[in-house]
Structure 1
Amino acid sequence: MSLFILSAVLGAAFLHALWNGLVRGGASRVHVMMVLSAVQGGIGLVLGFFSPFPGAEVWPWLAASALVHTAYKTFLTFAYEHGDLSRVYPLARGTAPLIVLVVGAAFGTDHLAVSEALGIAVLGAGIFLLATGVFTSGESVRLLPYAMGAALATASYTLIDGQGARIGGNAAAYVAWMFAADGVLFALVMSVLRGRGAWPARAGVWGAGSVAAVASYASYAIVVWAMTEAPIALVAAIRETSIVFGVVIGWLVFRERMTWVKGASALMIAAGVAITRL
């Protein structure tokens, strides 16, 4: 992986933590996520019309991705209704690189060097350590099934989108049409689950959701492009450094308690990224 791609993926990691912080900080997580999804869909639709139309071989991947992204947003929204950013975020993101590594190795979609595999393992261990607070600090265990659902969805769409973008040959067009479809699906799902209460009315929610949407779209577009240029599992692992940014945002913005476990975990995550560069 080149230094340019590494820098781009790290920037995407920060943007990912930023939009999660905006969702977590909203008075209604559902409302912010609804705006985020709608704005993402609008951006995708506009950009899609200025991009090559995907071929028939790409649409099954786009459909599967839209479904999984909708599941991810649903699980993540409900998880943030029960837990802090510095707990939900690591747990939701943390297991995904390991799942991607195992599945990718099993199906032979990517070849990883020993140092890259070791770096992913260290990175995953740091993420799991960071998430242990959910069991020891008295936080609601109701966040666990939602966070784990988000983690499984993350691993799934990482594998789907990495292959789908490669087959399509145009990462920008792929991301645009995927988010357009996801925006419609997520609105339908949340309308069924929450009814009219899922739709926001306050102007402030639209502002926060729109900023979150731009950050989310840019973050994922960078990642999907990177997955067409570098091993999928490696890109997915480095992207998880967003957890370091998430912990800092939780600490400084939301005044969440910083512990030695969080500090040690952040160092392990940084070490994991360094090892992948050996």
Structure 2
Amino acid sequence: MSAGIFAAVMAAAFLHAAWNSLIKFGASKITGMLILTIVQGVAGLVILLMRDLPGLEVVPWLAASGLFHAGYKLFLALAYEQGDLSRVYPIARGTAPLIVMALSGLVLTDALTGWEYAGIAVLGAGILGMARGVFSGGEAVRLLPFALGSAAMTAGYSIVDGLGARVSGDAVTFVAWLFFLDMVLFTPVCLALRGRDVLRADRRAWGLGALAAAASYGAYAIAVWAMTVAPIALVAALRESSILFAVLIGWLVLGERMHRGKALSALLIVAGVALTRL
């Protein structure tokens, strides 16, 4: 992986942590996520009006991607209703690259070096340490199934989107389609769960949701592009450095508690990222 691709993926990681903090900061997590999805879907539709229709070979990848993304957002919003950003985010984001790494030898053709595997392992150890506070800190265990569900969806779309964008040959169009389909799938799910009240939001909520959508769109567009030019498992692992950004935002901006365990786990995450660069 070149230095330019590495820098781009790290920028995407920061944007991802930023939009998650905006969703967590909002009053209603489901409404905030729905606003984000609608804004992204409309932006995707605008882009699609200027692009050609995808080939039939891309359609199954897009359908699978839309389902994975809708499931990911639903599980994540429900998890944020139960726990802090600095707890939910490490579990939800951190488990995903380990799943991708386990599957990469079975369904992917990208070859990773020994140092890259070591980096992913250290990164995973840091993530597990960060998540340990769910039990030791007496926090809501109810967040775990939702956070793990989000991780499974993340692993799914990491593989599907990377391969689908390669089949498509146009990462911009692929991302536009997946966000449009995400809106089509996610909106009725939210209405079924929370009723029409989920659409009621003030100007502040729409502003936060729109800002989160812009950060999310930029973050994922960069990531999908990177997956077309670098090993998918490595890109997925490097993106999880967003956990470090999320912990800092949770501590410095949202006022969440910082202690030695979090700090040590954050250092392990940084070490894992560094090992993937050797």
Fold similarity call, TM over 0.5: yes
CA deviation map 1:131-182 (0-9, x unaligned): 1001111111110110000000000000000000000000110000110010
2:238 aligns to what? 238
Offset of residue 272 of structure 1: 0.8
Kindly report which structure 2 residues correspond to 1:9-158, keeping only aligned pairs within 5 A, or say none.
Answer: 9-158=9-158
Alignment partners' CA distance in 1, 2:7 and 2:48: 26
Unaligned 5+ runs, structure 1: none
SS of 1:215 mapped into structure 2: helix
- Following superposition, the deviation at residue 106 of structure 1 comes to 2.0
Does residue 172 of structure 2 align to residue 172 of structure 1? Answer: yes
Aligned residue pairs, count: 278
Worse-matched range after superposition: 134-143 or 223-232 = 134-143
4+ residue runs over 3 A deviation? none
CA contact (8 A) 1:51 1:172 kept: no
Equivalents in 1 of 2:91, 2:216: separation in Å?
Answer: 19
Aligned to 2:222: 222
How far, CA to CA, are the matches of 1:151 and 1:183 in structure 2?
A: 20
Residue 52 of structure 1 and its aligned partner are, at CA, apart by 3.3
Q: Percent identity?
A: 58
SS at the partner of 1:95?
helix
What does 1:253-272 align with in structure 2 at a 5 Å threshold? 253-272=253-272
What is the aligned-residue RMSD (CA, Å)? Answer: 0.8
1:159-198 equivalences in 2 (<5 Å): 159-198=159-198
Distance 1:171 1:51 in 2: 12
For 1:94, give the aligned amino acid. Answer: G
Query: What is the DSSP-based 3-state SS (H/G/I as helix, E as strand, rest coil) of the residue aligned with 2:215?
Result: helix
Task: Please report the TM-score for the alignment, with normalisation by the length of structure 1.
Answer: 0.99
Cα distance in 2 for residues equivalent to 1:43 and 1:84: 29
1:64-88: per-residue Cα shift (whole Å, max 9, x none)?
Answer: 1001100000000000000000000
Indicate conservation of the 8 Å contact 1:94/1:124, yes or no: yes
Deviates more, 1:198-207 or 1:63-72: 198-207
Deviations 1:238-276 (A, max 9, x none): 000000000000001111110111111111111111111
1:112-146: CA deviation from partner (whole Å, max 9, x where unpaired): 01111111111111111111001111111110110
How far off is 1:35 after superposition? 0.5
Provide the residue aligned with 1:200 in structure 2.
Answer: 200
Confirm or deny: 8 A CA contact 1:91 1:128 kept in the other structure: yes
Q: Is the Cα–Cα contact under 8 Å of residues 53 and 173 in structure 1 kept in the other structure?
A: no
Q: Quick one: distance in 2 between partners of 1:90 and 1:201?
A: 28
Counterpart Cα distance in 1 of 2:49 and 2:18: 28
CA contact (8 A) 1:41 1:179 kept: yes
Amino acid at match of 1:256: E
Deviations 1:171-216 (A, max 9, x none): 1100001100101111111001111121133111000000000000
SS at match of 1:173: helix
